[in-house]
Homo-oligomer: A and B are copies of this chain.
Amino acid sequence: MASIGLSVPPGLTISTEACQEYQEYGKKLPEGLWEEILEAFECVEKEMGAKLGDSSKPLLLSVRSGAAISMPGMMDTVLNLALNDEVVAGLASRSGERFAYDSYRRFLDMFGNVVMGISHSLFEEKLEDLKAAKGVKLDTELKASDLKELVALYKTVYLEAKGEQFPSDPKEQLQLAVKAVFDSWDSPRAIKYRSINQITGLKGTAVNIQCMVFGNMGNTSGTGVLFTRNPSTGEKKLYGEFLINAQGEDVVAGIRTPEDLDTMKQCLPEAYKELVQNCEILERHYKDMMDIEFTVQENRLWMLQCRSGKRTGKGAVRIAVDMVNEGLVDARSAIKMVEPQHLDQLLHPQFEDPSSYKDNVIATGLPASPGAAVGQVVFSADDAETWHAQGKSVILVRTETSPEDVGGMHAATGILTARGGMTSHAAVVARGWGKCCVSGCSDLRVNDSEKVVLIGDKIIKEGEWLSLNGSTGEVIMGKQTLAPPAISGDLETFMSMVDEIRSLKVMANADTPEDAQTARNNGAQGIGLCRTEHMFFASDERLKAVRQMIMAVTPEQRKKALDLLLPYQRSDFEGIFRAMDGLPVTIRLLDPPLHEFLPEGDIEQMVSELTSDTGMTEEEVFSKVEKLSEVNPMLGFRGCRLGISYPELTEMQARAIFQAAISMSNHGVQVFPEIMVPLVGTPQELGHQVSLIRSIAEKVFSEMGTSLGYKVGTMIEIPRAALIADEIAKEAEFFSFGTNDLTQMTFGYSRDDVGKFLPVYLSKGILPSDPFEVLDQKGVGQLIKMATDKGCGARPSLKVGICGEHGGEPSSVAFFAEVGLDYVSCSPFRVPIARLAAAQVAA
């Protein structure tokens, strides 16, 4: 900032590489680093005309983490570093005892807590005891002599907790503080945060050391934090908090309630004017919305820290669109300013009709993070994680959240706190995740031990339903109805910029006409995966016919059951073709093992039904069911292995598809059916199914007196298929990578069982992320690249895409684009995210 002409307190930064070396070499400072730091300090001392530990002209420091991304668990700022008895004595004689001893006791508390690991509550206890003894309520009521007494008490805390004196050498303090920042990189909270947010590229944290400036030097001083635009809405207006006569931690700690920036405008108009100018300079320089910390010392504005500001999805989109309109950035840069996760927030539900729940609003807090949330109340982070794991939606209710709660906050669908402002821990973390949060709701009385919360006169117990509106701060009784989000306004503008830039197509995985419509609304350019088995579950009649088909002993029995299924399948396909008029629809033939269609556990009812429907004896039915069970169903009798063993099955499905296609085409719908054969591992398997499908097509075309174009292709989801993709491509008009199964087989991980060891693997760093969420580019990606190259080499017209769950995961989408795939297919709700990710890799 200094380089663009803003006043910044002198200081120095220790690089992230130093932190990495520190971590790697047994938590020791890299050789020579300390000497370099001291050397650099000599320059600072010259510039400031002050010296570390000098009692007449002392240089005081603030030390903090300079991580590129702010994350919980990283060491908080230590202010006033380099104080000791001598320096304080000098300070007292120059700036008054009150200022000196207040600074000293704050430093002792902070340093003890964040550097030495002494619990803050031990210091707090001494403070409260003293206040009680002195008969005062507020810290500010303590006299200078009281503060001096407090300093002595704080020093005993060190002695009791650590068995040694507080380190009074300023250089030793500095070294300990630098190490504490480095160490905090590896704190469990920081690791958990990085894991949740999939932050893997960073190697460590930088350390910022700055000369102190003081916001607590009376009413011409103050301190504040701000965003250059509103991080929730994106509105172009400074958004922040300010405290007069205060130091930085007073704002963030939530002890004094911070005031609006307008307060600063009134009290310190000159400094405020300069701040506004500085914000404009910084936005022009960094071409982004900035998060700024500043201090005013005796009317002089100092810029302490500045980084890109975290924002909500809504904010990110508006800022990107506005900055293009303001001429600050071009479209290619703008689409990189919105993270795919941001869109995810925007695509989160809102309340269907906010006016309808007005009577049920029982309190209103701060609109800390927008969106709507509906869930059951829990009172601890652990409960939130447990209930979430059981598939429940929960609202985490806390007096205030602490970094220890981060796991439970992530698990919760919404967060409600009694205390804390818009920049409180809960608010900042929730906004980062786009999770609905209402903070500072002062009507709340939370009783953790009884697991109840009093809101006004209502008592709400654990497990009761509550709804939160994070955009208004409303807390609403009961389970309010949510509405799916829509693409309009800024988002619509933004998505059109996105679509102009990307070349990778985005399709959707959809099994019903309704899903197909949602996909289309979200901008899907076709259906990349329509799973026919879902149709088999759609009604009792269908399931009954499916079970007869499974139980069939002869091909004739099987055909009879399949004839019952044909009309259902045909009408489903008609609906989907209609919804996707003009766009391709890729239909996958039956994939799962047949026993998935049998009821779990008690099968008596099914057995009695089947004996009456098929004329088999109970014993025969049981024996057939027994035969269907498998040791490793994932690697068993499924996919094209079914259609090859029972060609009648493929015939029925192909017939249903072609009949539906011709019938819709006769109604003027533009139909582009693509039939996909699952679980192919050899060209012979695919060849078998392709010729069966083509022969059925010919039959249906001649029966119905007309024909149409269609494609036949295959899933590439078995490692062998990728290895011999050139041979497979000779039989296939398209490839669609099934990255779920491909990941299962490439790693040898059963997705159903991976929970037994994946958490250990992630926590020990054996895997950087869950490979079922983020594509493993090295292994699975290598197969995808190999298969794409071999496949297109053998058949240049080959269309190649993916339809696994990675199709909606941004870093994976970027990989697919780089490898040269034609399309990705993902769930309808993730289509906009995939569109953005595809554009970002092209931009």
Q: Which residues of A contact B (CB under 8 A)?
A: 630-637, 641, 644-645, 679, 681-682, 684-685, 688, 717-720, 723-724, 727, 741, 744-750, 752-754, 756-757, 760-761, 764-767, 776, 778-780, 782-783
B720–A780 touching, CB < 8 Å: yes
B633–A764 touching, CB < 8 Å: no
Contact of A684 among B641, B745, B766, B782 (CB under 8 A): B766
Compute how far the CA of A541 lies from the CA of B641 in the bound complex, rounded to whole angstroms: 44
Taking CB atoms, residues of chain B closer than 8 Å to A745 are 635, 719, 745-746, 748
Taking CB atoms, residues of chain B closer than 8 Å to A634 are 631-632, 635, 748, 750
Assuming the A-B contacts A723-B782, A747-B718, are A637 and B753 also in contact, with contact meaning beta carbons closer than 8 angstroms in the complex?
A: yes
Contact of A637 among B684, B717, B756 (CB under 8 A): B756
B644–A720 touching, CB < 8 Å: no
Contact of A718 among B645, B723, B748, B767 (CB under 8 A): B748
Compute how far the CA of A776 lies from the CA of B682 in the bound complex, rounded to whole angstroms: 11
B779–A688 touching, CB < 8 Å: no
B684–A752 touching, CB < 8 Å: no
Assuming the A-B contacts A720-B780, A757-B641, A766-B684, are A632 and B752 also in contact, with contact meaning beta carbons closer than 8 angstroms in the complex?
A: yes
A635–B766 touching, CB < 8 Å: no
Taking CB atoms, residues of chain B closer than 8 Å to A633 are 631-632, 750, 753
B632–A720 touching, CB < 8 Å: no
Compute how far the CA of A765 lies from the CA of B753 in the bound complex, rounded to whole angstroms: 34
Taking CB atoms, residues of chain B closer than 8 Å to A645 are 756-757, 760
B720–A750 touching, CB < 8 Å: no
Assuming the A-B contacts A752-B630, A753-B632, are A766 and B682 also in contact, with contact meaning beta carbons closer than 8 angstroms in the complex?
A: yes
Assuming the A-B contacts A641-B757, A749-B635, are A776 and B684 also in contact, with contact meaning beta carbons closer than 8 angstroms in the complex?
A: no
Compute how far the CA of A633 lies from the CA of B682 in the bound complex, rounded to whole angstroms: 25
Taking CB atoms, residues of chain B closer than 8 Å to A749 are 635
A629, chain B: closest CB distance, angstroms: 9
Compute how far the CA of A643 lies from the CA of B782 in the bound complex, rounded to whole angstroms: 28
Given contact pairs A636-B750, A644-B766, A720-B747, a sample of 15 additional A-B residue pairs in the complex whose CB atoms are under 8 Å apart: A631-B752, A634-B750, A635-B749, A635-B753, A645-B760, A679-B748, A681-B779, A684-B767, A718-B747, A719-B719, A719-B745, A719-B746, A719-B748, A724-B782, A727-B778
- Chain multiplicity (copies): 2
Q: Could you jot down 7 A-B contacts, CB within 8 Å?
A: A679-B748, A688-B764, A718-B748, A720-B779, A727-B778, A745-B745, A745-B748
B750–A631 touching, CB < 8 Å: yes
Taking CB atoms, residues of chain B closer than 8 Å to A631 are 633-634, 750, 752-753
A635–B688 touching, CB < 8 Å: no
A687, chain B: closest CB distance, angstroms: 9
Compute how far the CA of A723 lies from the CA of B781 in the bound complex, rounded to whole angstroms: 10
Taking CB atoms, residues of chain B closer than 8 Å to A684 are 764-767
Assuming the A-B contacts A644-B757, A757-B644, are A750 and B630 also in contact, with contact meaning beta carbons closer than 8 angstroms in the complex?
A: yes
Compute how far the CA of A760 lies from the CA of B756 in the bound complex, rounded to whole angstroms: 36
A681–B748 touching, CB < 8 Å: yes
A758, chain B: closest CB distance, angstroms: 9
Taking CB atoms, residues of chain B closer than 8 Å to A685 are 766
Compute how far the CA of A637 lies from the CA of B757 in the bound complex, rounded to whole angstroms: 7
Taking CB atoms, residues of chain B closer than 8 Å to A724 are 778-779, 782
Compute how far the CA of A679 lies from the CA of B766 in the bound complex, rounded to whole angstroms: 14
Taking CB atoms, residues of chain B closer than 8 Å to A748 are 634-635, 679, 681, 717-720, 741, 745
Cβ-closest 7 pairs across A and B: A632-B750, A635-B750, A720-B779, A636-B753, A631-B752, A637-B756, A684-B766
Taking CB atoms, residues of chain B closer than 8 Å to A723 are 746, 778-779, 782-783
B636–A635 touching, CB < 8 Å: no
Compute how far the CA of A748 lies from the CA of B747 in the bound complex, rounded to whole angstroms: 12
Taking CB atoms, residues of chain B closer than 8 Å to A641 are 756-757, 761
Compute how far the CA of A475 lies from the CA of B438 in the bound complex, rounded to whole angstroms: 91
Taking CB atoms, residues of chain B closer than 8 Å to A630 are 750, 752-753, 756
Across the interface, name the chain B residue whose C-beta is closest to A685: B766
Compute how far the CA of A724 lies from the CA of B776 in the bound complex, rounded to whole angstroms: 12
A386, chain B: closest CB distance, angstroms: 16
Taking CB atoms, residues of chain B closer than 8 Å to A754 are 636
A265, chain B: closest CB distance, angstroms: 54
Task: Identify the interface centre among A632, A679, A741, A746: most chain B CB within 10 Å of its CB.
Answer: A632
Taking CB atoms, residues of chain B closer than 8 Å to A764 are 644, 684, 688
Compute how far the CA of A724 lies from the CA of B720 in the bound complex, rounded to whole angstroms: 16
A644–B719 touching, CB < 8 Å: no
Compute how far the CA of A749 lies from the CA of B633 in the bound complex, rounded to whole angstroms: 9
Taking CB atoms, residues of chain B closer than 8 Å to A719 are 719, 745-746, 748, 779, 783
Compute how far the CA of A757 lies from the CA of B636 in the bound complex, rounded to whole angstroms: 9
Taking CB atoms, residues of chain B closer than 8 Å to A747 are 681, 718, 720
Compute how far the CA of A764 lies from the CA of B643 in the bound complex, rounded to whole angstroms: 13
